A = this chain, B = another copy of it.
Amino acid sequence: MSPTKEDYLKILFELGGRTEQVPNKEIANRLSISPPTVTEMMNSLVKAGWVVYTPYKGSKLTQEGTDYAKKLIRKHRLWEVFLVKHLGFNINEVHPEAELLEHSTSAELADRLEAYLEFPEYCPHGGAISTELMEEQEVSTVHLTEAVLGEPVRISRIVDEDKLLQYFENHDLRIGDRVTVTGRDSGLDLLTLNHGTTDKEIQISQTIAQYLFVEHI
């Protein structure tokens, strides 16, 4: 498996390809490549048994594809923990580094690293590391966009993609922060929040708010 193919599997997983058909365009957008390239790659991933692909509809991961993706995500997140906890990297710097390291990590190395880090449960962006916690996180967490108006919640996870991390950092939204959704305007795609710590009002895009997960307090 090439790093390229591995990244396709990971993106597929992150876009819900474990349970739903993911359209080519979403993959093309996320990886910043052209749609024909995605078509080609999907055929290749089907041939290798990682993906089930329905032309014009989209792709789903097979069980093997799902397992492979989970292993990659675990490696990615373990490196992020190491980089932050031991090497003193800033939370917003580690994602691109882990995006590379994940492809150069044997199962043996991942296991030893995990033990060295004393079996951390979450990456610095709130993503679960163990398979069990990953499953649990899928069902238990709520998108910020689904939070009840007026009810305070705590930010538990940020989908880690360089530009997203930048966006939320710019709006002073970080893992662990308490926020309360005070308003929603679907027409304008706006979400208004009250930040629990600073008591300031924050406005963010509803579309982008989908990449923030929260839990009830």
Contact = CB atoms under 8 A, between A and B. Distances in A.
Interface of A: 83, 86-89, 93, 97, 100-101, 103-104, 106, 108-109, 112-113, 116
18 contacts: A83-B109, A83-B112, A86-B116, A87-B109, A87-B112, A87-B113, A87-B116, A88-B112, A89-B112, A93-B108, A97-B104, A97-B106, A97-B109, A100-B104, A101-B101, A101-B104, A103-B104, A104-B104
Shortest 4 CB-CB distances between A and B: which pairs?
A100-B104, A87-B112, A104-B104, A101-B104
Q: For chain A, what secondary structure do more than half of its interface residues adopt (helix, strand, loop), or is it mixed?
A: helix
Copies of this protein chain in the complex: 2
A40 to B, nearest CB: 21
Given A83-B109, A103-B104, 6 more contacts: A86-B116, A87-B112, A87-B113, A87-B116, A97-B104, A100-B104
Nearest to A88: B112
- Residue of A86, A89, A93, A109 ringed by the most chain B CB atoms within 10 A: A109
Nearest to A113: B87
Contacts of A88: 112
Nearest to A93: B108
Contacts of A86: 116
Contacts of A89: 112
A17 to B, nearest CB: 25
Contacts of A87: 109, 112-113, 116
Contacts of A116: 86-87
A93 B107 CA distance: 13
Contacts of A109: 83, 87, 97
